[in-house]
Amino acid sequence: MRTVVAVTERVAETPSTVTLRFPYPTAAVPGQFVMLWVPGDDELPMSLSYTDGPSKGVTVKAMGGTSRRVQSIRPGDRVGIRGPYGNHFDLSPKRVLIVSGGSGAAALAPAAGRSIAAGSSVTVALGATRAPELLFKERFRAMGAHVEVATDDGSEGAKGFVTAVADRLLQSESFDAVWTCGPEVMMKKVIAAAAPRSVPVFCSLERHMKCALGMCDACAIGPYHVCVDGPVFPAPRLENLSDFGTFHRDSSGRRVPL
């Protein structure tokens, strides 16, 4: 059932991402998502970037028409929320490496926060195209995470892909788990980097969704529905799926190369 709420806060996080906060007291666990409905427009799955307390939040990157309209929402405007849906990160590992690409930090930041609050140590490899797009860098640091940065253009941190930073960290430090969210191509590389060290990797997938209830097939990848079997998948479930890192599906269900 959808609840209509009034947005209380809008924060421009980076040039391409905006956080909306809204009252939504239903309990949520980091990694879960909600279906965000823009009146007069479509409904989009969005990871909860703030999961704790009665005020929740989503952090939206400008992609197509609907996400751009979400970004134009102002405090006082109404949106529809249903959920939270899906599974979540297992927060029990004590030494966690987070690998984040672009807006993937939205799903990962609340997991880092709860994990650190419970006594775990968290290292974040944070990647973006350029320095101003490094989402939640200060938020991760304020939580007590150790943050290492990579930008495609070298404007901050290591120049190049964040997967190179992740690979170096996996070689030099010991971790009990890797949590990653971002482009599937990036997550595939993270899985490959962790494999020789036998560190379990958990990937949060973003696929087109309609029902979020496991009924319409819009989010199918191999034998799984991302909405109910995910969005967080252990690497062994993804490794042999031909679509992972190669194709996504558009709103009509057509396979589109990534």
Binding site residues, ligand FAD, CB under 6 A: 33, 44-47, 58-61, 63-67, 103, 106-107, 206-209, 226, 231, 248, 250, 256, 258
- Does position 82 interact with ligand FES (CB under 6 A)? The reply is no
In the complex, minimum distance from the CB of residue 228 to ligand FES, in angstroms, rounded to a whole number: 7
Size of the site for ligand FES (CB under 6 A): 12
Comparing CB distances to ligand FAD, the nearer of 130 and 146 is 130
Residue of 7, 143, 212, 235 that binds ligand FES (CB under 6 A): 212
Neighbouring residues of 196: CB distance < 8 A, sequence distance ≥ 6? none
Span near ligand FES by CB under 6 A; candidates 104-112, 119-127, 131-139, 210-218: 210-218
Which residues lie across from 4 on neighbouring strands?
80
CA–CA separation, 34 and 227 (whole Å) = 10
CA angle 23, 24, 26 (to 5 degrees): 155
Read off the tokens for 195: 């494999």
- Helix (H), strand (E) counts: the chain: 7, 18
CB 113 within 8 A of CB 209: no
In the complex, minimum distance from the CB of residue 223 to ligand FAD, in angstroms, rounded to a whole number: 17
Binding mask 213-232 for ligand FES (x = CB under 6 A): -xxxxxx-----x-x-----
Comparing CB distances to ligand FAD, the nearer of 46 and 199 is 46
Which residues lie across from 159 on neighbouring strands?
151
CA–CA separation, 7 and 27 (whole Å) = 18
CA neighbor of 124 nearest in space, from 106, 146, 156 = 146
- Does position 42 interact with ligand FES (CB under 6 A)? The reply is no
- Does position 122 interact with ligand FES (CB under 6 A)? The reply is no
The residues binding ligand FES (CB under 6 A) are 209-212, 214-219, 225, 227
